[in-house]
Structure 1
């Protein structure tokens, strides 16, 4: 009996040693919910965040490079977000709060819905593992599935898929830093698919935030965000996020509604910047 227990113990520690070896074919993969928790912990602590950034929109028929827009983001962690895009003649506001999403263009309220290009902020906003897991699940990411993958020479936890399957929604978290690396959003057709890549992470105060975000389709760059300035824990009014209040002071006219694929999103952006730059047909 003693010999059997001794042999079992030796076998167990041999297995542990094998798993621990660098480059071992056997690797322990952390559960998806735990990866999200570690990721949020590595973000750091802040109550609010103010971000000034440049949004570049690429279209094939543009001859003079991308259209550029100045955008201001405001976060109240863990669940309030506001984006303001202001051009010479147009103002687009997009808000997310516990009351749902809301988009206002030139004072006119649209049907509440977040477009696929708005999803990038979800990982950065929900500083609550349960909230983030719920949001990712709503967007099709099965966090109960996790694996290890490689992208651009970086090892990452793949949440939502068994690597190398990229046919389903998934979030990649870099194994070394626990920072988001990429997010694959899949739709009903290939034209609805979108890959969001996060890079140039830096630390401001106690908070980490990406300096660059790219939006790709079949490795073709559609849009990119360059962060110009961030301010941790600034002062701004919570009324900026009050959807009920904003609905009451703005027109109830619907200027856009539910659409398929990119149709709704393109109509919003077109309205926002058509006087700024003619980038749509």
Structure 2
């Protein structure tokens, strides 16, 4: 009877049992294996940007995302409203909006860092740079899924962390907590959904971004190509900088300043769409 009571008590426990939890490096070894290897990938995707008012429909952009693993990434948005390129090489990046370099980092661009990290060392380095303490691991729940939580003791969500599906070992939520000087912290949740097998690796066909509980944007992959031929200068930071300089080298100084002011306003307006 006593043994039966213990079993019933265990079944009624509200959280997953924490008798044995894999250590962070072991979890990331299994995650790297589950994500697999992809050399070059180019995705045509739809970017939905949601306004603060639910009754207003989202703005939709056509976006091309190019991954040259593990160091390089490029995103291109071309529309009537804005032309934007975000290029990453290793730890350096450059964003160009309407032909001008934009200052500051857009936190929504961070989602691709995890997708380029497909070995344990790279996963650990990326997570540490994002503020996730990989030495801390716990078991928890995210919706209906049991997850490994790296970076926090479940159910603590006051710090940045990564939730990894206990069954598939694929990342499903990256929570980034920005501790501002103001009273409230900013919470950016990045959900990686609909992982699909792509040759020797896996890739999520949907990525959702939730800011302080509000759905801010959504990426949905329409189609992708594996190992396409990518021109070298397309992924070259210096080549992009040179093209910007050449495009504006013959602009009169007065028109230059006016253009800078207009583009700076365009950058600010564009950034507001992602808030």
Aligned to 1:80: 72
Return the alpha-carbon distance in structure 2 between the equivalents of residues 238 and 32 of structure 1. 36
Q: Cα gap change, 1:134/1:25 in structure 2, threshold over 3 Å: closer, same or farther? A: closer
Return the alpha-carbon distance in structure 2 between the equivalents of residues 135 and 98 of structure 1. 11
Matches within 5 A, 1:18-97: 25-61=17-53, 63-88=55-80, 90-97=82-89
Q: How many pairs align? A: 248
Aligned to 2:94: 102
Is the CA contact 2:17–2:139 (under 8 Å) kept in the aligned structure 1?
A: no
Compute the TM-score of the two structures, normalised by the length of structure 2.
0.80
Aligned to 1:231: 225
Aligned to 1:131: 122
The secondary structure found in structure 2 opposite 1:132 is helix
1:111-140 per-position Cα deviation (integer Å, ceiling 9, x unaligned): 3x5321111111101223223322221221
Shift of 1:62: 7.1
Q: 2:174 aligns with which of 183, 203, 206?
A: 183
- Could you list the runs of 5+ residues in structure 1 that have no partner in the other structure? 1-20, 257-263
Q: 2:154 aligns with which of 160, 163, 179?
A: 163
- Could you list the runs of 5+ residues in structure 2 that have no partner in the other structure? 1-9, 249-255
1:60-104 per-position Cα deviation (integer Å, ceiling 9, x unaligned): 247541000111100011121000011025320001112601101
